Amino acid sequence: MSAALAGRRLLVSAGPTFEDIDPVRYLGNRSSGKMGFAIASVAAERGAEVTLVAGPVHLATPAGVHRIDVRSAAQMFDAVMGALPCDAYIGAAAVADFTPRAFAGSKLKKVAGTDTLTLELVKTRDILAEVAAHALRPALVVGFAAETDDVATYARGKLERKRVDLVCANRVGVGATGFESDDNALLVLGPGGFERALGPAAKTELAARLLELVAERLA
């Protein structure tokens, strides 16, 4: 196994976040965490010192990886910021964009005569953008973009808006690739019109190819 990342510190986020509504309910999303865990696993095999901040997933910790488990977007934010500095941040987590304004300490009950429930949501902090703007900004910041339509256009917008170095876009909601699958296809975009299609392939294979791009940029 090549040691292309020997001595490099990589910080990877993976999985969904769960935003609690009351003691028995939450808002979540369909991320399995497989892509982020594959990246952490392959990076450790290639000699990197890897910290993996994981949302709620049912996946084993890859060999040699330091794992920090979190539940909510706010906890993921704190764990990621607390793990800086590093050489590269790879934000593969599907962080909730919104969280309930207030957590109800007791289970919400149905109200007789009312057929609707209004939940007020507030924006979460954008971990990726804040890592990219941080005083301890890693040399390389990589984001993910899960899109259902116009993948390249939206992903290029994300690259510029969040000031990251690479965005890995994938199409979700179609066929055998995406969130819960073992396979995926990524379109990796960078500044200056850089564009590289990876896959379709197994997520471990995609992780290996993505980490080649990361290693080249850290060299």
User: What whole-number distance in Å separates Cα of residue 90 and Cα of residue 83?
Assistant: 13
> If binding is defined by CB under 6 A, does position 128 make contact with ligand CTP?
yes
Cα dihedral 145/147/150/153 (nearest 10): -20
Known catalytic residue: 29?
yes
Q: Binding to ligand CTP by residue 218, rule CB under 6 A?
A: no
Q: How far apart are CA 58 and CA 34, in angstroms?
A: 10
CB of 1 to ligand CTP, least distance (A): 27
Helix (H, G, I), strand (E, B) or coil at 152: helix
Contacting ligand CTP (CB under 6 A), which of 91, 100, 138, 178? Answer: 91
93 contributes a contact to ligand CTP by CB under 6 A: yes
Q: How far is the CB of 80 from ligand CTP (least distance, A)?
A: 8
**Please, which residue, 7 or 85, has the CB nearer to ligand CTP?**
85
Choices 22-30, 122-130, 175-183, 200-208; region in contact with ligand CTP by CB under 6 A: 122-130
Minimum distance of ligand CTP from residue 117's CB (angstroms): 23
127 touches ligand CTP (CB under 6 A) = yes
Give burial (CB, 10 Å; 0-12/13-18/19+) of 98. Answer: middle
DSSP conformational letter for 193: G
Q: Is the dihedral of CA 177, 181, 183, 189 positive or negative?
A: positive
Catalytic residue among 9, 10, 17, 29: 29
Residues 148-177 that bind ligand CTP (CB under 6 A): 158
Contacts with ligand CTP by CB under 6 A lie at 13, 73, 91, 93, 95, 97, 124, 126-128, 143-146, 158
Give the active site residues.
29
